Amino acid sequence: MSTVTTDRSEALAERLFGATLGALELFSVYLGNELGLYRALRDGGPATVAELAARAGIHERYAREWLEQQAVAGLLEVDDAAAPADARRYALAADHARVLIEAGDAAHVAPFAHMVAGIGGVIGDVAAAYRTGGGVPYARYGAAFRHGQGHINRPAFEQELPGAWLDAMPDVRGRLDRPGARVADVGCGQGFSAIALATAFPRAQVDGIDADPASIAEASAFARDAGVANAAFVTGDATAVRDHGPYDLVVILEALHDLPHPVETLAAVRDALAPGGAALVVDERVADAFEAPGDEVERMMYGWSVTHCLPTQLVDDPTAAIGTVMRASTVRDFAGRAGFGQVAVLPVDNEFFRLYRLDG
């Protein structure tokens, strides 16, 4: 009887090669956005090395290498690859601009590059935390991660939140159209969700609450730039929502899993609701139970968890230390312990998010 042995080393080696290639290209996308290179190509049109360097204010030698790398990677187009280096003209196609630079576009996933860059800057601290059991404060991940996290969710918060997401809560939508309606956005980050709600419901007052002062400062600035007067932002622990109610709607968007005290936060949310009000929790659409190997969404969520979410949560002691992967059964358990009588998964189709309505 023969035994067939399968050696998977070559397949894994190829996978890690591809991951390395992807990581390096993400860093190049980070440079393109951080230095305004994509914007210079979009706004000024195709450019030579010298023209891009002049438009963006960077050194020509760096401009040449980045342009060549982007063309080789297929992110930019070049008119004549055989022309001398200083004569080639590089262009950003409109469909690639959607992905790389158009902040409100549903296809805009370039902020992943900023998130990865932010993690790369503190990965040594993360390794040290693994040894000690301590954590890495959110602020240590810096402006790059903050930008990435805020902007990767921005299209969904601006388009889906005031649209399909609240369409699944028609009674709440009706309340928000009334004068004097009030909304709280707990863990609001850079404020794009609060600004979207304030824009969609001009009769409502929207309060954004976040523990990170830098995020609150940026949210306030974004609201001013958008000309939104009915959104206000305050720095505070998530449980501070109790002190600012009552609210017709409280949202916790892609943030509950990051909170060190989720049950206490949900209890504060329940206390902050006006009679007949409801809470909307939007979190990761992970599998119902642990499976290995998992699909790509599960792999991504665990990837964020081991490098960012869990380390930031372990700064606190005690802490729930959920990580990124918070399953539906966990949300129901937390909500029940917080005093909510009903938890419903809303019938909204989304590849990455699951929506929970919490009542009473």
Scored b (16 or more CB within 10 A) or e, 13-36 reads eeeeeeeeeeeebbebbbbbbebb
Q: Which DSSP string corresponds to 65-84?
A: HHHHHHHHTTSSEES-TTS-
Overall average pLDDT of the 107-136 stretch: 98
- Asked if the model's pLDDT at residue 1 lies above 90, the reply is no
Beta bridge partners of 252: 281
Q: Angle, nearest 10°, between helix axes 37-44 and 49-56?
A: 110
**What's the pLDDT tens digit per position in 58-117?**
999 999 999 999 999 999 999 999 999 999 999 999 999 999 999 999 999 999 999 999
3-state secondary structure of 290: coil
How far apart are the C-alpha atoms of 266 and 252, rounded to whole Å? 9
Phi and psi at 341, nearest 5°, equal -85, -25
Exposed (0-12), middle (13-18) or buried (19+): which is 8, by Cβ within 10 Å? exposed
Phi-psi map region of 266: left, alpha, beta (phi>0 left; psi -120 to 50 alpha): alpha
3-state secondary structure of 359: strand
pLDDT at 80: 96
Residues in contact with 247: Cβ distance below 8 Å, sequence separation at least 6, in sequence order:
182, 183, 184, 207, 241, 272, 273, 274, 277
Domains and CATH numbers, the chain: 10-100 (1.10.10.10), 152-298+318-359 (3.40.50.150)
Q: Angle, nearest 10°, between helix axes 142-155 and 192-200?
A: 30
Residue 7 exposure: Cα atoms within 13 Å on the Cβ side: 3
**What's the pLDDT tens digit per position in 301-349?**
999 999 999 999 999 999 999 999 999 999 999 999 999 999 999 999 9
pTM: 0.94
Long-range contacts of 149-152 (CB under 8 A, 24+ apart): 149/111, 149/115, 149/189, 149/190, 150/111, 150/189, 150/190, 150/191, 150/192, 150/215, 150/218, 151/103, 151/108, 151/111, 151/114, 151/190, 151/192, 152/109, 152/111, 152/112, 152/115
How far apart are the C-alpha atoms of 150 and 108, rounded to whole Å? 12
pLDDT at 2: 54
Rg of the chain over all Cα atoms, to the nearest angstrom = 23
The DSSP call for residue 202 is T
The DSSP call for residue 321 is -
User: E strands, 40-181, where?
Assistant: 77-78, 90-91
Which DSSP helix (H) or strand (E) runs through 307?
none
The pLDDT confidence band at residue 6, using thresholds 50, 70 and 90, is: confident
**What's the pLDDT tens digit per position in 222-268?**
999 999 999 999 999 999 999 999 999 999 999 999 999 999 999 99
> Tokens in use for 201?
């419901």
pLDDT at 4: 62
269 closest CA partner among 328, 330, 185: 185
What is the average pLDDT score of the chain? 97
Where do we find the tokens 């490098």?
A: 307
Q: Which DSSP string corresponds to 229-248?
A: -SEEEEE--GGGGGGT--EE
**What's the pLDDT tens digit per position in 273-297?**
999 999 999 999 999 999 999 999 9
